[in-house]
Amino acid sequence: MTDLSSENHFQPINLFEYEQLAKKYLSQMAVDYYSSGAGDEVTLRDNRAAFERIKLRPRMLVDVSDRNLTTSILGQPLQLPLLIAPMAFQCLAHPQGEVATAQAAALAGVGMILSTMATKSIEEVASVAHQNNAVQWFQLYIHKDRGLTRTLVERAYAAGYKALCLTVDAPVLGQRERDKRNEFALPPGLHLANLATISQLDICHEQGESGLFTYFAQQLNPAVTWRDLEWLQSICPLPLVLKGILRADDASRAVEYGAKAIIVSNHGGRQLDGAIASLDALPEIIAAIDGKIEVLIDGGIRRGTDILKALAIGAQAVLIGRPVLWGLAVGGQAGVSHIISLLEDELNIAMSLSGCTQLQDIDFSLVKSINI
């Protein structure tokens, strides 16, 4: 990051500063695509506000001279309880896009989930994991075109991805008004690297409607139900993770239908505006799951203390999304690495000040909230 400091005389020291700095590197259309939520963006704001409402109750006079942040998810080792969420179109932020993100994740020993809507291919990103023995999962939808879905799954399995992460909260696309106003379109030269059936299309706006929206209208499948999970599991032996669970009964059903983990998520506030904040949904889901499968969470995490709060309520790990894009825009791989390092340092300090030497010490007694 020395080039960043010398050019701008400013070194971000937290994720919020990265967000502000990233706006200097991105077009307004890209900023709005990455940062916006659905509708009035109530859920987008609530995701952050939920963490701010939770207060910590630290333990005192604990020997915290040695700390251990390592964990495992689905039996896969992580250096800290963090994965990078699936995010589309990362080459909008930096030419190396998802490859740079994967390199930073691998070097830090955290997980990465590659989006179906990536601008780098399944195989190209997987090559980074192979070189570093990294944890990579593949995110997908069950498209109307089952052949397309099967092909994506088979490619991910062949490339060595460790799990399938099925997004379940997008039977249709949310009403993202900033994108609609901007007539969002990928710039020339960028394409959907993993979707051969549409990669030949010119992803540009048509009569005011983005080619992205056209794609979703064509391929998102509002008819998908729980029974379709059986089909997905029948074509691939990888563990299935469901992303987008916000209710206890859906969490229990995920267990019933064979999911090995769930991600408590409202899609970063980009789908149903007014949906419950992910953190607010977490307690009842943890109670319903009762340790049967692993539970992760995303949405609004910007500090190490946020990770501590999520783990205290019962999550095994967290996902971060937008901050990775800000780091990518500012400094490519080095920017993403710095984002991860900042969170690791903050979590380390938060654990020390809370009387925790390992993740197993983090429990519900550490948090207090009016609503929990």
Mind listing the pLDDT tens digit of every residue in the chain (372 residues)? 434 544 456 899 999 999 999 999 999 999 999 999 999 999 999 999 999 999 999 999 999 999 999 999 999 999 999 999 999 999 999 999 999 999 999 999 999 999 999 999 999 999 998 888 899 999 999 999 999 999 999 999 999 999 999 999 999 989 999 988 988 888 888 888 988 555 444 444 444 334 544 665 578 999 999 999 999 999 999 999 999 999 999 999 999 999 999 999 999 999 999 999 999 999 999 999 999 999 999 999 999 999 999 999 999 999 999 999 999 999 999 999 999 999 999 999 999 999 999 999 999 999 985 454
The answer to whether residue 326 is domain-embedded is no
The answer to whether residue 332 is domain-embedded is no
Give the count of domains, the chain.
1
28 annotated ligand binder: no
Q: For the chain, how are helix, strand and coil distributed in percent, rounded to 5? A: 45, 15, 40
243 annotated ligand binder: yes
CATH code: domain of residue 38: 3.20.20.70
Burial class of residue 39 (count of CB atoms within 10 Å of its CB; 0-12, 13-18, 19+) = middle
Q: Can 267 be counted among the known catalytic residues?
A: yes
The answer to whether residue 88 is domain-embedded is yes
Instruction: Determine how many CB atoms are found less than 10 A away from the CB of residue 138.
Output: 29
Res 371: pLDDT: 55
The answer to whether residue 336 is domain-embedded is no
For residue 41, the enclosing domain spans: 2-316+346-368
302 annotated ligand binder: yes
Res 1: pLDDT: 41
Q: Which of 94, 143, 267, 338 is catalytic?
A: 267
155 annotated ligand binder: no
Place of tokens 């379940």: 168
The answer to whether residue 100 is domain-embedded is yes
CA distance 333 to 97: 9
Question: What tokens appear for 211 in the block?
Answer: 């080619």
3-state secondary structure of 318: strand
Cβ(5)–Cβ(17) below 8 Å: no
The answer to whether residue 328 is domain-embedded is no
Ranges of H-type helices in the chain:
2-8, 15-22, 28-35, 42-53, 97-108, 122-132, 146-159, 177-182, 211-219, 228-234, 248-256, 278-289, 304-313, 322-354
CA 116 to chain centre: 13
CA distance 350 to 336: 21
The answer to whether residue 331 is domain-embedded is no
Res 196: pLDDT: 56
161 annotated ligand binder: no
The answer to whether residue 268 is domain-embedded is yes
298 annotated ligand binder: yes
88: CB partners within 8 A, 6+ apart? 115, 117, 118, 119
Res 133: pLDDT: 85
Res 211: pLDDT: 53
